[in-house]
Chain A
Amino acid sequence: MTETGAEERRLLARRRLAERIFKRLGQAATFFGVGVLGVLLVDVFSDGLPRLGWEFLTSFPSRRPETAGIYTALIGSLWMLSVTAALAFPLGVGAAVYLEEYSRRSRLDRVIEINIANLAGVPSIIYGLLGLEVFVRIMSPLTGGRSVLSGGMTMALLVMPIIIIASREALRAVPDSLRQGGYALGATRWQVVSRLVVPSAMPGILTGTILALARAIGETAPLITIGALTYVAFVPELSLAGLQTPFTALPIQIFNWVSRPQAGFHVNAAAGIVVLLVVLITMNAAAVLLRNRYQRRGMD
């Protein structure tokens, strides 16, 4: 009798030990990701920060790593991002409004929904092939070929599913009572949507849009595929003609520098990454701030 008691206690101790070991393993696994993130940031910042300065931000690319800068890449990225935002925001929000507020759940509407889910999983380089054929080649009289416009349009298609999915979530969170209040006042559907539903979903929509644009600014593969240049010694003009000129972008410039054998260019790449990460952190912080403000208002 006492012997089986001891046996049971030993078994219980073993089971508790397994529990403790498993918990530690789980913690280690969770902190693995956090740890790698830390190592990556320290590595990049320690390589790149000393190289960073006003000159680096305002210099044109160069064959000599010490004098090369990211001016054209930075301006190119901002240009491309403006095109992307100007296209993807209205189109994405429009599509989300249609699917949430107008859709009659017809077969076609369901096909659109499934299609959006699948588009979000298409590798970005495939969008690059689409952009290469449609925007760079077929539409070249309009876009000017391998231009800022082609890049921005390709990116717009790439981030549209993200904006749609986020905007739909924001629209879904708007309470029905708000819509009913509008209808009770005799408003039409569009009046309810444009003056009540969309404004109250706007913080969520903007958060999703900022995150989508953050994705666009770091995307490299589609831009390589459509043939964004790696060496551009001029800045696109602020005009329609400027939109049709070739361009380079921040991640392209980084890729170009990483691919060179000289260590000097690797340092430049690290400095470029620091700039890219600062831009991304700023955008994400803006998104978080927006979201927090929105949540507070929701509670009032």
Chain B
Amino acid sequence: MLLPTRSHSSLSARSERPAGRRVLESVIEALLFATSAITILTTLGIVAVLFFETVAFFQEVPLWRFLTDTEWTPLFADKHFGIMVLASATILTSVIALAVALPIGLLAAIYLSEFATPRTRQILKPVLEILAGVPTVVYGYFALLFVTPLLRAIYPEIAGFNALSAGIVMGVMILPLVVSLSEDALFAVPVGLRNGGYALGATRFEVATRIVVPAAFSGIVAAFVLAISRAVGETMIVAIAAGQSPQLTLNPFVPVETMTAYIVQVSLGDTPHGTIEFKTIFAVGTTLFLMTLGLNILGNRLVRRFRERYD
């Protein structure tokens, strides 16, 4: 039915010159392979760019100072390059985001997979997906101009820029990821396991929490790990709402500067190539890349594990 009507005649016309056709076929295959090889080039490009600029950075700043210094002031005259200052802010905002997204996301996933009717599920899942499609700059606006004033109305000591507001909104942003991945894992648990529980007289709550959740555990952990990775790499929310004051603190009420926010700060200024300030964004980028790569590899491995177990 989908066959175009003229294709039959053109097919037979082509088959009259098989040699040319074979060449054409292999040229096309080579071209198609080349397009997929671009993805490899992208990865190699990322690694090479980060590597060369980072090596150049460490020729000027010793690695041990990068790892142990407790100040981050590359844009000042008295320069310090303590990555832990930026990393602590990244970890702080990510932990706040997780504190929001993990419990709420897991509860929602259990509800959607074990309690909701198929119809409710069909409506609510796409609505939650919309949250994942909202541009992060919009979340940044929401964090700075809605959530922060709200928090300050409750607790006036909070600064205008703070990790708490950015972290909470980031939690909302990663919520759909947590819900949809953990729901996939819960849904993949065979019905037979649930029925075994019901046959023993367990309630739906007991089946959900003592049978389904433990059975889907690696999938749920995978969802959490991938959510952490997303939070660590998130840029606009923290750049807008958490501030640009690099300080080593775990206080969620004061301005901080995450790794991503620092890259934004330097990019907005006019920093010439070759300067130490320019190289710092690549050193920070490398740290960020390694953190998210590690988390992604771990998360993807866990996802594969639970898929293999029940497919």
| A→B interface (CB under 8 Å) | 15-16, 18-19, 22-23, 25-30, 32-34, 36-37, 39-40, 43-44, 47, 90-92, 94-95, 97-99, 102, 111-112, 115-119, 121-130, 132-134, 137, 157, 160-161, 164, 178, 181, 185-191, 195-196, 199-200, 214-215, 217-221, 224-227, 230, 251, 254-255, 258-259, 266, 269-270, 273, 276-277, 280, 284
Q: A224-B264, A276-B135 are in contact. Are A115 and B282 (CB under 8 A)?
A: no
Assembled-state Cα–Cα distance A137/B45 (Å): 13
- Please determine whether B127 and A37 come into contact, CB atoms closer than 8 angstroms: yes
Shortest Cβ-Cβ A-B pairs, 7 listed: A123-B233, A26-B111, A218-B135, A94-B35, A29-B107, A95-B36, A221-B235
CB distance from A195 to the nearest CB of B (A): 5
Sample of 15 further A-B pairs with CB below 8 A, known A36-B131, A94-B35: A15-B203, A26-B108, A28-B107, A47-B145, A116-B39, A121-B296, A121-B300, A125-B233, A126-B233, A129-B50, A129-B285, A189-B29, A191-B11, A227-B267, A273-B138
Residues of chain A with a CB closer than 8 A to B40's CB:
111-112, 115
B19 is an interface residue with CB less than 8 A from chain A: no
28 A–B pairs (Cβ distance < 8 Å), ordered by A: A26-B110, A26-B115, A30-B124, A33-B104, A33-B179, A40-B134, A40-B146, A95-B32, A98-B33, A111-B40, A117-B300, A118-B297, A119-B39, A121-B229, A123-B234, A123-B235, A123-B260, A125-B285, A126-B233, A128-B267, A129-B285, A130-B45, A132-B267, A133-B49, A220-B235, A221-B239, A224-B267, A255-B236
Closest residue of A by beta carbon distance from B128 = A33
A124→B235 contact, CB < 8 A: yes
Q: Does B273 contact A (CB under 8 A)?
A: yes
Report the Cα distance A32→B142, complex, angstroms.
Answer: 16
Among B77-85, B188-196, B286-294, the stretch that binds chain A is B286-294
Within the assembled complex, what's the spacing in Å between the Cα atoms of A208 and B142? 28
Of all chain A residues, the one with the shortest Cβ separation from B282 is A129
Q: Report yes or no: A102 in contact with B131, Cβ–Cβ below 8 A.
A: no
- Residue in contact with B35 in the complex, picked from A95, A191, A251, CB distance below 8 Å: A95
B300 contacts across to A, CB distance below 8 A:
117-118, 121
Q: Contacts of B275 on A, CB cut-off 8 Å?
A: none
Q: How far is the CB of A35 from chain B (nearest CB, A)?
A: 10
CA–CA, A127 and B133, complex, Å = 19
Question: Does chain A have a CB within 8 A of B172?
Answer: yes
Residues on the B chain within 8 Å of A16, using CB: 203
Contact digits for B24-35, partner A, Cβ 8 Å, 1 yes 0 no: 110011011101
**B153 at the A interface (CB under 8 A):** no
B309 surroundings in chain A (CB, below 8 A): none
Residues of B contacting A273 in the complex (Cβ-Cβ under 8 angstroms): 137-138, 141
Closest to B206 in A: A15
Q: Which residues from chain B contact A23 at a C-beta distance below 8 Å?
A: 111, 115, 204-205
Which residues of A have CB within 8 Å of B208? 22
The answer to whether B289 touches A122 (Cβ under 8 A) is: yes
Pair A188/B107 contact, Cβ less than 8 Å: no
What residues on B are CB-neighbors of A47 within 8 Å? 145
* Residue in B134, B139, B289 with the greatest tally of chain A CB atoms within 10 Å: B134
Let me know if B119 is at the binding interface, CB within 8 A. Answer: no
Q: A19-B205, A251-B135 are in contact. Are A27 and B111 (CB under 8 A)?
A: yes
User: Does B200 belong to the interface (CB within 8 Å)?
Assistant: no
B92: Cβ under 8 A from any A Cβ? no
Task: Compute how far the CA of A282 lies from the CA of B289 in the bound complex, rounded to whole angstroms.
Answer: 33
A118: chain B residues within 8 A (beta carbon): 43, 293, 296-297, 300
Assess whether A115 is in contact with B137, with CB atoms less than 8 Å apart.
no
Which of B33, B172, B204, B264 is close to A221, meaning CB atoms less than 8 Å apart?
Answer: B264
Whether, in the assembled complex, B59 has its beta carbon less than 8 Å from a beta carbon of chain A, the answer is: no
Find out whether the CB atom of A160 lies under 8 angstroms from the CB atom of B42: yes
